[in-house]
Amino acid sequence: MSHFAYIAVAYGGSALALAGLALWLVSDMRARRRELDHLHDAGHRRRSDRQETLREAK
Amino acid sequence: MNENTATAKPSFITRLANPSRFIGLADRLIPWLTGIGLILTAIGLVGGWLAPEDYQQGATVRIMYLHVPFAWLAMMIYGVMTLAALGTLVWRHPIADISLKAAAPIGAVFTLLSLFTGSVWGKPMWGTWWVWDARLTSMFVLFLIYLGLIALTRATPEPGQAARAAAIVTLVGALNLPIIKFSVDWWNTLHQPASVFRAGGPTIDWSMLWPLLVAAIGFTILFSALHLTAMRTEIWRRRVHTMRRLAAQRADRTMGGTA
């Protein structure tokens, strides 16, 4: 294997792993955001959201 | 907080104990950190490619611009987790356990990448993918500790239930950090001794040192963007968990009332 191949493997592997990590974190973020929105739409509120709920009811 | 009732202005860290305030800050910081981190990393890596080749290693020295920042982050992220562990045990800061749990998988990836880039650098330069010398072995142990902490922080049904246990394990594992750092001085290793953070200053020529430092700063800022994203997600996960439990309790009471 030429030196260039080792360098390419190092850069390619690193880019893949970091892109995979970022993708995983973003998809986890989106899924949790969706769950919160669904709960919110179903009328579930956190206690600290209650002020907001009262305002919406008016 | 009402200004009239507050007798003393709470410190920045104390004010971040409010998760909603933390999320507000994260929302504002994440886009900036991502952008600045990507730009600096790009400048550092391109600078590294334009820098002269090493007189002994030739072009493979390019791997250094990834390997050194990854190894630095592998240890720095564990340092962040150690501070978070103290935050949980000493101050019971509510965000500390979230920080520790969110950092563990990111730290594991950077540790694995430092081992991986080291390996594909070692093969052409040392003639071997791997040796069980003190530096490589202690770095491998760090990777295993990360895996253990990932498992522990995700092992309980209630998120955050393992906070104290994870904090204690993190502190015990922190003993490995000085061992990694000084392994190249204390033992006879195939790995080279320190050439950047050492008494007497760096031994790398400036033409190679500046891209390395810029790349390291860029990757570190990128880590902070990833970490804040993961922490915000973890806060949301815990909110969903609490709201579902409360909803189930309410449903339970309603059922009991009608039966």
Please give the full DSSP string across B146-195, using - where no structure is assigned.
HHHHHHHHTSSSSTTTTHHHHHHHHHHHTTHHHHHHHHHHHS--SS---S
Quick: pLDDT tens for B222-235: 999 999 999 999 99
Q: Say if the Cβ atoms of A39 and B240 lie within 8 Å.
A: yes
What pLDDT does residue B258 have? 55
Quick: pLDDT tens for A23-32: 999 999 999 9
Quick: pLDDT tens for B15-35: 888 888 999 999 999 999 999
CB proximity list for B175: less than 8 A, separation 6 or greater: none
Q: Which residues in chain B have their CB less than 8 angstroms from residue A10's CB?
A: 62-63, 66-67, 116-117, 120-121
Q: Which residues in chain A have their CB less than 8 angstroms from residue B232's CB?
A: 29
The answer on pLDDT for B2 being more than 80 is no
What pLDDT does residue A57 have? 53
Q: Which domain holds residue A44?
A: 23-58
- Is the residue at A4 inside a domain? no
The answer on pLDDT for B6 being more than 60 is no
Question: Is the pLDDT higher at A44 or at B37?
Answer: B37
What pLDDT does residue A45 have? 75
- Is the residue at A18 inside a domain? no
Q: What is the mean pLDDT of residues B230-257?
A: 89
Minimum Cα–Cα distance from B63: chain A residue: A7
- In this structure, what DSSP letter does residue B198 have? S
Q: What is the mean pLDDT of residues B117-121?
A: 96
Quick: pLDDT tens for B76-87: 999 999 999 999
Query: What is the C-alpha to C-alpha distance for residues B78 and B190, in angstroms, rounded to an integer?
Result: 24
- Is the residue at A14 inside a domain? no
Name the minimum distance, in Å, from the CA of A58 to any CA of chain B.
23
Cβ–Cβ < 8 Å for B82, B171: yes
The pLDDT-based confidence of B72 (bands split at 50, 70, 90) is very high
Question: Is the pLDDT higher at B71 or at B253?
Answer: B71
The tokens for B33 are: 């950190």
- Is the residue at A36 inside a domain? yes
Q: Work out the burial of residue B117: count CB atoms within 10 Å of its CB; fewer than 13 is exposed, 13-18 middle, 19 or more buried.
A: buried
- Please enumerate residues of A whose Cβ is less than 8 A from a Cβ of B: 1, 3-4, 6-7, 9-11, 13-14, 17-18, 21-22, 25-26, 28-29, 32-33, 35-36, 39, 44, 46, 48
Distances (CA, A) of B190 to B120, B125, B136: 15, 11, 9
Q: How many domains does chain A have?
A: 1
How many of the other CB atoms lie within 10 Å of CB of A50?
Answer: 10
Query: What is the C-alpha to C-alpha distance for residues B50 and B208, in angstroms, rounded to an integer?
Result: 9
The pLDDT-based confidence of B118 (bands split at 50, 70, 90) is very high
| Mean pLDDT across chain B | 92
Q: What is the mean pLDDT of residues B96-116?
A: 98
- Is the residue at A37 inside a domain? yes
Amino acid sitting at position B247:
A
- Residues of chain A with pLDDT > 90: what percent? 60
Query: Which domains does chain B carry?
Result: 27-193+207-250 (1.20.120)
- Maximum alpha-carbon separation in chain A: 72
The tokens for B143 are: 């990777």
How many of the other CB atoms lie within 10 Å of CB of B191?
Answer: 16
Helical axes B134-153 vs B94-126, angle rounded to 10°? 150
- Is the residue at A56 inside a domain? yes
Asked if the C-beta of B229 comes within 8 angstroms of chain A's C-beta atoms, the answer is: yes
Minimum Cα–Cα distance from B230: chain A residue: A25
The pLDDT-based confidence of B257 (bands split at 50, 70, 90) is low
Cβ–Cβ < 8 Å for B171, B149: no
Query: What is the C-alpha to C-alpha distance for residues B80 and B100, in angstroms, rounded to an integer?
Result: 8
Query: Least CB-CB distance to B109: which of A4, A9, A17?
Result: A17
What pLDDT does residue A58 have? 47
Q: What is the mean pLDDT of residues B163-192?
A: 94
Mutate to test the interface with B, among A21, A26, A27, A45 (most CBs of B within 10 A): A21
ipTM for this model: 0.89
Q: What is the mean pLDDT of residues A4-33?
A: 96
Residue A10: phi and psi, rounded to 5, are: -65, -50
Q: What is the mean pLDDT of residues B194-220?
A: 91
Residue holding tokens 């955050």? B160
Q: What is the mean pLDDT of residues B49-58?
A: 87
- Is the residue at A15 inside a domain? no
- Is the residue at A44 inside a domain? yes
The pLDDT-based confidence of A47 (bands split at 50, 70, 90) is low
What pLDDT does residue A49 have? 61
Q: What is the mean pLDDT of residues B139-155?
A: 97
